[in-house]
Structure 1
């Protein structure tokens, strides 16, 4: 949703600096014109960021500042083109020389839940042709849809990270199912999450939520790793860091 958070360049840099792992800097074109986007990428390159995810972002009417004016000077495909100009030619969109070297992998977002899927595949193909280096999907709950999408995108020979979103509570699961476009939480998972609410003890309730997530996502990840061409998994454990360690240990 369109809400104000810290510029993701800051945590991307801090994690890369303090932990030593490469990060993926998410850049939303909704809020910035081409000058600001160019400036942000120059800053990221200077800080040693190696990966950028170019995304459109939800419109401001879908956030908590509905009076905010969306910019969309460039769409996500045009932003990919700007990135490749900066990387390959050392110029901006107008051909002006940029000040600083940019060595960054360019990522794009994809929605395997799209129905019909063909227009989504066409958009991905266009961005890959422009120069995208990798793909990250929106959160997935349906293993068959995930496999279908990965099979369709094999033609692009572009590494794909499958997105999953462990659900911290029934409230979050219900919100995803009702209000996130193109995302449907399986009925059996929703029912299992709802049963967790019956546990009166707060800590035990957390443990039950953990168990439900492990039972659903562990076989999901294993199946993706075993039977598809996916390059990896993007675990979006928003405010739910505690699930990362057991989930990764179980599925690595």
Structure 2
């Protein structure tokens, strides 16, 4: 079953994340795919996550697909202009990749090449529009394609915005992304269930499935790091204390998730 068919059939969906390696040894990717096969609906393949240079998400998505995993090909706007983005999307389509998660991308200054120049010719909304255009058989300049794409595009939203103004901005962004063509939404990691419940009630009428993000906590240090450094993620203090007081922190992290 693919992500598209699971969403269309309203199946329970489990996705995970497969990070491309920093180098050319793909054994870790192969091992991850072997473990995940038959256990997840699809796998997110990250695109230079946190602005750290790695193997590309396109080739990693292809490797995952060859090994029986339905990839969610993540594409950021940080490193490529609209010509390169459209070209990579056409390449993905030829390789049989259908799921695309459109992201604006982190600033290069946050990664391991802090002096790299960002592009940001498009943002995530513009990229979703480009995907819709390719699906209709044209490029962004209005030129007809010799064979159109058949992408199933998605986008990201942050239900845990830390101020009311930021929260409202996330709602407006989500609406824009849906209007631009997003067929599913994935969220940042959720730890505050009440906050997420409020968000889900607010967007219930949007008509697009929301896949909640879950990241099991491994340690108190990880929880505090996420609160300090990961935008849009908030681990409540009571959960941190529960983790701190637990003898088996791995088991507790899974229980919290």
Assess if the C-alpha contact under 8 Å between 2:217 and 2:254 holds in 1.
Answer: no
Task: Give the equivalent residue in structure 1 for 2:158.
Answer: 111
- Aligned-partner SS, 1:95: coil
Task: Give the equivalent residue in structure 2 for 1:212.
Answer: 252
Hey, what's the Cα distance between the residues in 2 that align with 1:169 and 1:44? 37
Task: Give the equivalent residue in structure 2 for 1:8.
Answer: 57
Within-5 A mapping of 1:89-128: 90-114=137-161, 115-116=163-164, 117-128=167-178
2:204 is aligned with 1:154? yes
Runs of 4+ in 1 over 3 A off after TM superposition: 192-196
TM (normalized to structure 2)? 0.75
Q: 1:43-100: CA deviations, max 9, x gaps?
A: 1111111200000111112222221111000111111110000002x11111012344
Hey, what's the Cα distance between the residues in 2 that align with 1:65 and 1:99? 37
Unpaired runs of 5+ residues, structure 2, are 1-49
Hey, what's the Cα distance between the residues in 2 that align with 1:77 and 1:185? 28
Hey, what's the Cα distance between the residues in 2 that align with 1:96 and 1:79? 17
Q: Which of 27, 32, 51 pairs up with 2:75?
A: 27
Hey, what's the Cα distance between the residues in 1 that align with 2:60 and 2:223? 26
Hey, what's the Cα distance between the residues in 1 that align with 2:222 and 2:59? 26
Unpaired runs of 5+ residues, structure 1, are 200-207, 218-252
RMSD, aligned CA = 1.6
Task: Give the equivalent residue in structure 1 for 2:194.
Answer: 144
2:219 is aligned with 1:169? yes
Assess if the C-alpha contact under 8 Å between 1:42 and 1:100 holds in 2.
Answer: no
Task: Give the equivalent residue in structure 1 for 2:84.
Answer: 36
Which of the pair is proportionally richer in helix? 1
Task: Give the equivalent residue in structure 2 for 1:178.
Answer: 228
Hey, what's the Cα distance between the residues in 2 that align with 1:215 and 1:132? 31
How many residues are treated as equivalent by the alignment?
205
- What is the deviation of 1:195? 4.6
Q: 1:137-183: CA deviations, max 9, x gaps?
A: 11111101111111111221011111111123333222111111232
Hey, what's the Cα distance between the residues in 1 that align with 2:218 and 2:57? 22
Task: Give the equivalent residue in structure 2 for 1:191.
Answer: 241
